[in-house]
Amino acid sequence: MKVNVNYKYPEDYHPKYVNGAYGGVTARDEIIINFFLERFELPEQETHDVNLGKTIKVQKREGIEKTVVRDISSGVILKYDVAKEIHRWFGELIKSIEQKTKNDE
């Protein structure tokens, strides 16, 4: 028996770039992963001298010299068997990339 699977996307579908994830195992023994983009916090305000063409003041957030922000873009909760299948799939993708990189050298 053959089954066709059609993928439907909402009009506002737009993949997000992430560079990290945080999560763990839930009380129901499911895996939760929250994907985030880690970046430095933007200043609250900048002052530019248009006559000199340079920045003369950068106002950072109150009392904080440098802050890292983690913007959470999405999260997923997976059952064990689904997590195992995704793990297997990621393994195949990683092997494919490693093989391609090895061949390119």
- Tell me, yes or no, whether 25 lies in a domain: yes
The reported pLDDT for the residue numbered 59 is 64
Q: Name the more confident of 65 and 30.
A: 30
87 has a pLDDT exceeding 70: yes
- Tell me, yes or no, whether 85 lies in a domain: no
Number of domains in the chain: 1
What gap in Å lies between CA 30 and CA 86, rounded to an integer? Answer: 14
- Tell me, yes or no, whether 105 lies in a domain: no
pLDDT in tens, 27-60: 999 999 999 999 988 777 778 777 777 766 666 6
Average model confidence (pLDDT) for the chain? 87
Confidence tier at 65 by pLDDT (50, 70, 90): low
- Tell me, yes or no, whether 11 lies in a domain: no
- Tell me, yes or no, whether 59 lies in a domain: yes
- Tell me, yes or no, whether 51 lies in a domain: yes
The reported pLDDT for the residue numbered 91 is 96
Q: Which domain holds residue 41?
A: 20-79
- Tell me, yes or no, whether 1 lies in a domain: no
- Tell me, yes or no, whether 10 lies in a domain: no
- pTM, rounded to two decimals: 0.67
CB burial readout 56-84, b (16+ within 10 A) else e: eeeeeeeeeeeeeeeeeeeeeebeeeebe
